[in-house]
Amino acid sequence: MSFLSKPPVTTSFTFGVNEINCLKKQCTTSSFNKITTFEVVIAHTWHSFVKSGDLPLSQSLKLCFTFSFRKKMKLPERYYGNGFVLVCAESTMKDLYVRLTIDVLKDKTVITDCSLALIISQVRQLGLEDVDFGEGKPFHLSPYAGKLFCIFLPVIGDPKAVRVCISLPKTMEGKFQRYMREIENWDKYEYKMPIWARM
């Protein structure tokens, strides 16, 4: 499939408090008034990704993201190994909804096919920017650029901000950047448009 046959490139966007609040206001209704930063950023990233793919309407595409169980397992403090499961939602391009499917953990034969999936991982609250493994704190965090992958990273000095770093096919990069920057009604909420959105 040409969608996946192109070499991936990596691009990133930083969402500050103003941008996140604007996204939240667009999603908030009287019946749905509590939404997290993760939910609005993942929804906006997914929407931008799907629109930029120019896929057939019958094409099925998966959104997979990690769900942490670190607190439930009482892992030792400063443990930075894996402590998550993969949650997956799948829909055709023409569906107006996404059916949430969670792989049954008891069934050891279940293998999630991620061949046409965007995998999003949130590590911004693990404190990775403060970890010193013997050679000082990290100066850069980025995803593996070999698959369709997206990682939400911390922004040093701004704990409420989110840096979205994503690898995707080169053919999608221009449209994806445009859709990520197109947050409706910026001026309606009197927020200053971020520098990256004015480029």
pTM above 0.75, yes or no: no
Q: Please check whether residue 42 is in contact with residue 94, taking contact to mean a CB–CB distance below 8 angstroms.
A: no
Give the separation between CA 166 and CA 148, rounded to whole angstroms: 8
**Rounded to 5 degrees, what angle do the CA atoms 156, 164, 101 make?**
130
Give the separation between CA 45 and CA 65, rounded to whole angstroms: 12
Of 13-17, 22-26, 59-63, least confident by mean pLDDT is 59-63
Q: Which two tokens stand for residue 31?
A: 């019946």
- Residue ranges of domains in the chain: 2-126+138-198
Residue 61, helix vs strand vs coil: strand
Most confident of the ranges 40-44, 59-63, 94-98, 156-160: 40-44
Model confidence pLDDT, tens digit, residues 37-87: 888 888 888 888 888 887 777 777 777 777 666 667 777 776 666 666 666
**Can you identify the CATH homologous superfamily of domain 2-126+138-198?**
Chloramphenicol acetyltransferase-like domain (3.30.559.10)
